[in-house]
Structure 1
Amino acid sequence: MKKRFLSVLGCLLCIGGMQAQTLKEIFVHMPDTLSPILTPVNRADCVDFIASNMKARVTNRFNRTSEVKTLTDDYLLAQVTESSVWEMRRLPLNDSVSVVCWVKTVKGPVEDSSLRFYSTDWKELPVSDFLPQRPGPDDFFLQPSAEKADSLNELQRKADITFLKASLSPKENTLSFTYTTPDYMNADDRQQIIPYIRKSVVYEWKDGKFVRKD
């Protein structure tokens, strides 16, 4: 794992002359292949609108409205469509090298997220190098009392599809996951299973990767 990390870091050090970029610059220079909805003009306009303290709403490539709600040097939150949200965070590997964590969340109808990592010039990097262990359903369940264990086991069998929502912090280098599978269950089962579920599982950025806090 250490050799693999050093290899990734070595590749990043060779990219782009090593000038530090803000997330605003990185966002504007996204390849069109990664941004089929927001055009280069859309993205540049959003940066300009936010710099002018205006709402960053644009008409996207499909003639619908997209809005960048938050954009700083390190963090982005965008409502790209009515049912899809982008979050990005620039994360340091060392004093001059950063990676971009990109979370895409879709509600259809339950919120579920995908997560990718990129260099600052949009070369995709292995997720496992930066998030070695993703949470699974068992990470969200609290230990029940002995008399309620059978009831929980039955509810877990009904939660047969796993949905996870990931969220990046606007101010800190943290990544949190929420177990959204109960939103897919019927109302009665959802009411019964919620008391057994922890609110979130949180990871923090340490030494170039996300590690679980608790």
Structure 2
Amino acid sequence: MKRLITLFFLVCLCMAGARAQLAKVCFTNMPDSICPLLTAVNRADFIDFLESKMKAEVTNRLGGKSEMTHLSADYIRIKMTDQSTWQMKLLPLNDSTKVICTIRTACAPACDSSLRFYATDWKPLPSTDFLPQLPVLDDFVAEPTDTTNLYRYNDARRQADMLLMKADLSASGQELTFTFTTPDYMSEEAAKALKPYIRSTRVYVWKNGHFE
């Protein structure tokens, strides 16, 4: 009998732990400082609306409209404003522990993203522990093998003086995709000249507790 009671207690603990690491629970418990545009009521309303099969749109702190467009057990995506989005993904560290990855993206007009990592109690964690190396310009732009186009290429590349990237977490998998957006802020002529040498995306996969 004592063994059955102990087993029941352990099962309850496991179920409570699993529930505590659901994306929606972490999201509703998120401190206001992580996402200041949304109130605690906004966050709860998002969940209620989507689970009721309604459009999950709320009025944010600034009086504008924000909409949660995706909610699953481990992923959330929100259209914060017409020019910005916010994503959250729960990623496994081991069988019982997860880490939160968030991405904030702003487009004005070229999109650029910033990533943060947190424990499930929203304690900040060092990003380099989970994403040791962000993409660099050379990951997206390859020098031409044909030297006849080298001058035109070098001139266009000089105008790519700011690395801008849009990051996206997979809703159904564990991939992190970076899209090269620097051409969106360059002159049309320079972007066109650089286009043949661009690898537009860089994909990382979550393995053994980090992206590689």
User: Do they superpose with TM above 0.5?
Assistant: yes
CA–CA separation in structure 2 for the residues paired with 1:65 and 1:112: 21
Tell me the secondary structure at the aligned position of residue 33 of structure 1: helix
Aligned to 1:135: 135
8 Å Cα contact 1:20-1:96 kept in structure 2: no
Higher alpha-carbon Rg: 2
Which residue matches 1:197?
198
1:156-183 residue CA offsets vs partner (Å, 9 max, x unmatched): 1111111111111111101011111100
Deviations 1:125-180 (A, max 9, x none): 00000000110011001342232233222211111111111111111101011111
| Aligned ranges 1:68-107 → 2 under 5 Å | 68-107=68-107
Q: Aligned-residue CA RMSD in angstroms?
A: 1.5
Task: Say which is worse superposed, 152-161 or 44-53, in terms of deviation.
Answer: 152-161
Task: State yes or no: 1:173 paired with 2:174.
Answer: yes
Tell me the equivalent position of 1:124.
124
Deviation per residue, 1:99-126 (Å, 9 max, x gap): 0110000012210000000011100100
- The aligned counterpart of 1:61 is 61
Where 1:30 maps in the other structure, the secondary structure is coil
TM-score normalised by the chain length of structure 2: 0.88
Quick check: 2:19–2:25 contact (8 Å CA) kept in 1? no
Q: TM-score, normalised by structure 1?
A: 0.87
**What is the CA-CA distance between 1:56 and the residue it aligns to?**
0.4
1:110 maps to 110
Partners in 2 of 1:70 and 1:30 — Cα distance?
Answer: 17
| Secondary structure, counterpart of 1:202 in structure 2 | strand
Find the counterpart in structure 1 of residue 162 from structure 2. 161
Q: How many residues align?
A: 196
Q: Are 2:187 and 1:206 equivalent residues in the alignment? A: no
Q: SS at the partner of 1:139?
A: helix
Q: Is there any run of 5+ residues in structure 2 with no aligned partner, and where?
A: 1-15
CA separation in 2, counterparts of 1:143 and 1:160? 16
Contact 2:152 2:193 (8 Å CA) reproduced: no
Q: Distance between the aligned counterparts of 1:62 and 1:176, measured in 2? A: 30
Partner in structure 1 of residue 145 of structure 2? 145
CA apart distance, 1:35: 2.1
**Most deviating of 170-179 and 142-151:** 142-151
Any idea what SS the aligned residue of 1:152 has? helix
Secondary structure, counterpart of 1:38 in structure 2: coil
Alpha carbons 1:19, 1:96 under 8 Å: kept: no
How big is the shift at 1:17? 6.9
Cα deviation digits, residues 38-65 of structure 1 (max 9, x gap) = 1111111100111111110001111111
Offset at 1:31?
Answer: 0.3
Structure 1, unpaired ranges of 5+: 1-15
